[in-house]
Structure 1
């Protein structure tokens, strides 16, 4: 094992970086990190009411569509991280595929999307803690609980990689067990509706077409089906990352999305009054379902499991964004790089980056308190930000392929690489357009275009920082060398062939 660690460190040095993290996260723990970030229970329970009101029971199909599209993305990510297993994920990948300026913008968008997601999860989980403790769910109580959860997550993440890995694994076990048991019981003993309801439109949509309603509800699937990239964010904390990380990413989708669909199906078939949920009359269908089937005490136990899922999800998200901020700072691509690039000598984590991520997420939670439909706006922006950042990697991979890049890691798609890359781009562009598409013409413009407005602010501030501060000039870290490596490898092969031919002639 020590030999493997040494080889991993030598690989990282060859990529231009000095090892700083503790490589103590196994393949299964890396997968658990991605799984708890994707978090089937968090996604299914937090956005169940939204999915039902927007598209009715057929919204469940959005999980499958998102899983297929995101699998294309995941495969491309696997090729990139296998060759460049560097902490921070999307930022260092795009740096090596294209260059520092492209990397700056992809990392900037991804960072804000992650921080926003960190804010969304505790807001979605706060009602379950309120139910568990017997509090009334109010906007004020939800905000306070969310801030407490963020504070606790920031403190716990300071304990180090081993603690994070153990919590991620514990959260994975609780989430799997809870999802299987709760939905299993609902499907066996709590079912009130026919499975056929997932094919019924309930007269939703406009102009006689159900498609607009389904596209609106598809936000649920899009929000739930990312998180696999978090495995790459901790690549420097995983042994043999070139092989382990791509596998952990795929496992996240293979296991996470079927569990999500299974969880959601159990809930849909156990709804006492579908019309009340679809019309919004039953504003809290999860509580209705659980209380009816498990009683007051049993439902509180389930709320505890759901809360554990939310907490482990927050921890995983915050760990991912802190590694991204650290990667930025290590390359001197962001303000206060000297502080943000420091690794705790005791626990080997970027302490300042963790604190910064926690503070900004807390501010977003506070802002959401004053905005109507705050959670929906936060989730929408988080989704579109993630998708755009993902597509910057996909476009970067296509750009590098045109320049001659041939993936050189332990995971390669071979001749399928071009096809999968193009399919990943088509899906990502379509999903991004769907998220940004305005669907409430009667709403005030700032509500109807709130996601687009938020995205524009992030893009403009990122471009201004890039233009005025020119962070790409501050670093000598390797950049835009993916295709150079391929060319050099080809030259070496040709050189070896010539040498061997000359020796044979002699």
Structure 2
């Protein structure tokens, strides 16, 4: 077997380093350290997701739902540590697909990538639709369907239709930016990240300054809306869906590895940094809202969430200013998720692992971007938005289950990684000294590799079960549609069935990806790469 690096890989030799995996340098390398961090941070986008989902978590668990946030953060941080180990050794676009394929084989890798692409497309739609919760609250003129006086609530007929209009407009803009080039995308995303961080700091400061209560409230279930017959524990587990929905996508920096300068050094650290900053910022936002809300029991916090708190605390003008920053965060989030999805699609297509692979794997020599893949992700996300026109309950269910699909895709990496680590430890193989582009050792978990991997897998299994559990309050807002209540299980099952049919048709023509082995201390070796990717 040949090691992935032969000692020191200078930055100027990055194209040659990529060639060792059998790929040509087609994407343009113009993503720096901050832009790499911005990709993961914008995907998580705490302003977008916490604003969207605060009411969900609080409605289930009351003030004590806060503690689900550090619990989910810890679990996802364990996952991120494993991803960072792989990002240092496989700096390739379509990271989840590539890692799973090299660790667990071509079939597992394909289904992991298949689930990830579908999950990312639905996540793009979910992010885009969040504009409806922000723009009409800033100015009623953004309520294009029915006019300024129409009901702007996302669950109303006019609000749902307007959400589709605003979401499609946003997707047009993000698709154009993705097509223009990664340099423009990185600049826009980095600017949005700076503004989002500034907004988080301003909102947290404003909320804490107007606090009505202290930390003791976090140890109570005040405000929880317990369903008849449900226990406090089951309600608290349901409230954890909010944190689980938010803290995904930190791996997006890995999707941009082929466009990142010094990716072996940069990407592992930006994956972890994106999750750290998101975890701290999101936790402070939740605490600030709970401390500053005028009331926890009058029902407004469980329905209006964080936007209601801001308007009550800061007044119409101050609230609108901060909501404008939230709108910028929604834009950056949609852009980041679409970029990540297009890179996953491109990576699978160049292996001939998707229908229409020739078009989807094409990279513009001028812009250095996979133009067709970017457009396809945008169009499919817009089609997913259209479901919201007639049945918002269906879209709510899709928005929920897409996160379960991403968690399943993550398991498609951590499980084979654990198997490889245990196997290599049993064989007693030594470690391989590998260096990054700066001449320093690659990111490694050392002797903690197996324990961290075991805990990460255990957390993910529990999280997937919790996410897909058929809760009527999450998946069936109609209150009486059985297939909506079981939509997570049914939709994931349908995706797998369709995946089997597509995979059988494409498998004989797909290009083989070499398998990898992981040494007990986290070092990775791969077989000699396949050069023919035509």
1:278 CA displacement? 7.0
Three-state SS of the structure 2 residue aligned to 1:47 is helix
Distance in 2 (alpha carbons) for counterparts of 1:164 and 1:465? 32
Residues 101-120 of structure 1: pairs in structure 2 closer than 5 A: 101-120=107-126
Per the alignment, residue 411 of structure 1 pairs with 443
1:143 CA displacement? 1.6
Q: Which structure 1 residue ranges, 4+ long, deviate > 4 Å from structure 2? A: 203-208, 405-409, 483-489
Instruction: Report the number of matched residues.
Output: 482
Per the alignment, residue 122 of structure 1 pairs with 128
Three-state SS of the structure 1 residue aligned to 2:424 is coil
Per the alignment, residue 48 of structure 1 pairs with 54
Aligned pair partner of 2:246 in 221, 224, 241: 224
CA contact (8 A) 1:56 1:278 kept: no
Residues 360-399 of structure 1: pairs in structure 2 closer than 5 A: 360-399=380-419
Distance in 1 (alpha carbons) for counterparts of 2:230 and 2:161? 40
Cα deviations by residue, 1:370-390 (Å, 9 ceiling, x for unpaired): 224345313321210010000
User: How large is the RMSD of aligned CA atoms in angstroms?
Assistant: 2.2
Per the alignment, residue 331 of structure 1 pairs with 351
Distance in 1 (alpha carbons) for counterparts of 2:332 and 2:491? 27
Aligned pair partner of 1:157 in 169, 172, 178: 178
1:316 CA displacement? 0.5
1:196 CA displacement? 2.0
Distance in 2 (alpha carbons) for counterparts of 1:187 and 1:172? 22
1:132 CA displacement? 2.2
Cα pair distance change 1:51/1:375, threshold 3 Å = farther
Per the alignment, residue 438 of structure 1 pairs with 470
Cα pair distance change 1:335/1:131, threshold 3 Å = same
1:127 CA displacement? 2.3
Per the alignment, residue 464 of structure 1 pairs with 501
Per the alignment, residue 494 of structure 1 pairs with none
Aligned pair partner of 2:189 in 147, 151, 168: 168
Distance in 2 (alpha carbons) for counterparts of 1:340 and 1:86? 17
Q: Which runs of 5+ in 2 are unaligned?
A: 1-8, 144-149, 153-158, 426-430, 436-441, 474-478, 528-534
Per the alignment, residue 259 of structure 2 pairs with 237
1:33 aligns with 2:39: yes
Three-state SS of the structure 2 residue aligned to 1:17 is coil
Aligned pair partner of 2:516 in 475, 478, 481: 481
1:477 CA displacement? 4.1
Cα pair distance change 1:102/1:221, threshold 3 Å = same
Per the alignment, residue 211 of structure 2 pairs with 191
Per the alignment, residue 89 of structure 2 pairs with 83
Distance in 2 (alpha carbons) for counterparts of 1:112 and 1:329? 14
Three-state SS of the structure 2 residue aligned to 1:482 is strand
For structure 1, which segment, 201-210 or 455-464, has the greater mean C-alpha deviation from structure 2 after superposition? 201-210
Distance in 2 (alpha carbons) for counterparts of 1:399 and 1:473? 27
1:86 CA displacement? 0.5
1:116 CA displacement? 0.7
Distance in 2 (alpha carbons) for counterparts of 1:277 and 1:452? 31
Cα pair distance change 1:488/1:126, threshold 3 Å = closer
Three-state SS of the structure 2 residue aligned to 1:476 is coil
Three-state SS of the structure 1 residue aligned to 2:48 is helix
Per the alignment, residue 214 of structure 1 pairs with 236
Per the alignment, residue 338 of structure 2 pairs with 318
TM-score normalised by the chain length of structure 2: 0.86
Cα pair distance change 1:375/1:216, threshold 3 Å = farther
